[in-house]
Amino acid sequence: METDVSNDLRRSTVPQTRALIQSHVAGFDLLKIYIVNLILMVLTLGIYRFWGKTRLRRYIWGNIEIMGDRLEYSGTGKELFIGFLVVFFLILFPLFAVISIVDGLLAGDHEQARLVLAAAQGLIIVFLVGVAFFRARRYRLTRTHWRGIYSSQTGSSVKYGLMVIASYGVTLLTLGLAWPVCSVWLKRYEMKHTWVGDEPFGFSPSVKKLYRSFLVVWAIGLLYMITVSIMSMNLLDFQTIFKTTSEGTPSNPEEIQALINMIFVMYLGLIPIGLAFLWYRGRAYNHFISSTQFHGHTLTSTNTGFGFMWLTVSNSLLVFFTVGLALPWAVKRYLNFVERHVGLVGDGDFSQLLQSTQDRPSHGEGLADAFDVGGI
């Protein structure tokens, strides 16, 4: 479809499902950007990444069309670099210097205190990853413009970081069972604090619906854990027999077979679990998208769990077998997938939407850079 931006938007008062997104991303254009970025990254020992990321985003944003108008990315490499410097010198460097010094002081006979310190360090990192994700999201949203108005994010990154700690903790304690509840909790916080112009998103997912899919994955995971532990227990028996009878090379063919079986099951078992999880994620995305409202419109999603699973698997294989060269096409396929499946129900009229009044951070993503969260 050609974008005829000089035409007036045709408005329909009857709610109907409309295409929301159209991607104009071209694989070769993207590849060119990736290659230039890679060369400059090497030449600058990685420092160019701030400018390279910006270039990439500018291209991708500028080639995504929402309801007939292309997005615009207005961030700069300088803002990312300053964000990085601020985080490095004001947070990370002092924090890890203090931790290392305290650890050094405790070296020797304070083993328990060191364990506590290590645990605290782990918690701090999980917390900072949460904060990083939320802050990076805020930066990206405030640099995303559509029809001249920009999006934004309210809410507190500290609160979000604490929510991430709590979510991971509860998920761990319930052997994963609490994950859908926690993910809805986090997602709701994200979406309810997301704005385009002067209006926030509505978000109303149902945890019950998610559990219908999640329990399948969880059961497969449980089955896997039980199988592996039974097999390893059997193996332990073999080992004790083996040790009492002879010492030296393993000779018992039964024992060797059991060991091979276990390794086989352990690694091959991960494949169905991974696939099942991707299937769940596809369904969860579908549900999250269709639970989103904005400006009198509701988003719709037609993607299936299997569709998302196939997209992810085929993209991974594509990237793997071309040693990364096909990454641009993987990105393109992903965007085309979104284009195919995400729609909008409503009259399509956004003319009442006003410019945002939210503040925009002057720099960004330092923490996200340090912890490698946030993808593109």
Residue 253 as a binder of another protein (CB under 8 A): the answer is no
Shortest distance (Å) from residue 299 CB to another protein: 17
The least CB distance from residue 112 to another protein, in Å, is 16
Enumerate residues 52-111 that contact another protein by CB under 8 A.
55, 58-59, 61-63, 68-70, 72-74, 77-78, 81, 88, 92-93, 96-97, 100-101, 104-105, 107-108
Kindly state the smallest distance separating residue 248's Cβ from another protein, in Å: 23
Read off the tokens for 319: 């990237």
Does 351 bind another protein (CB under 8 A)? Our answer is yes
Please check whether residue 273 is in contact with residue 220, taking contact to mean a CB–CB distance below 8 angstroms.
yes
By beta-carbon proximity to another protein, the closer residue of 147 and 281 is 147
CA dist 376 and 355 (Å) reads: 26
Measured from the CB atom, is 103 or 255 closer to another protein? 103
Residue 203 CB neighbours (<10 A): 19
Compute how many other C-beta atoms are within 10 angstroms of the C-beta atom of residue 10.
Answer: 7
The answer to whether 120 touches 103, Cβ cutoff 8 Å, is no
Binding to another protein by residue 294, rule CB under 8 A?
Answer: no
Instruction: Measure the CA–CA gap between 42 and 218, rounded to whole angstroms.
Output: 43
148 touches another protein (CB under 8 A): yes
Taking the C-alpha atoms of residue 248 and residue 41, their distance in angstroms, rounded to an integer, is 52
190-209 positions binding another protein, by CB under 8 A: 197
How near is the Cβ of 281 to another protein at its closest, in Å? 27
- Residue at token pair 């284009």: 339
Nearer to another protein, 100 or 302 (CB): 100
Rounded CA gap, 319 and 325, in Å?
7
**What distance in Å separates the CA atoms of residue 208 and residue 259, rounded to the nearest whole number?**
41
Distance of alpha carbon 287 from alpha carbon 303, whole angstroms: 10
State how far the Cα of 344 lies from the Cα of 286, in Å rounded to an integer: 13
Pick the piece of the chain touching another protein (CB under 8 A) from 179-187, 275-283, 337-345, 353-361. Answer: 353-361
Q: What SS3 state is found at 138? A: helix
Verify binding: residue 46, another protein, rule CB under 8 A.
yes
| Structure token pair of residue 290 | 């269709």
Q: Which is nearer to another protein, 6 or 240 (CB)?
A: 6
CB of 64 to another protein, least distance (A): 11
Q: Are strands 64-66 and 194-196 parallel, antiparallel or unpaired?
A: unpaired
Pairing of strands 202-203, 144-146: unpaired
Of the pair 71, 191, the CB lying nearest another protein is at 71
**Which listed residue (234, 310, 370, 374) binds another protein by CB under 8 A?**
370
Binding residues for another protein (CB under 8 A): 3, 5-9, 24, 29, 36, 40, 43-51, 55, 58-59, 61-63, 68-70, 72-74, 77-78, 81, 88, 92-93, 96-97, 100-101, 104-105, 107-108, 145-150, 197, 350-355, 369-370
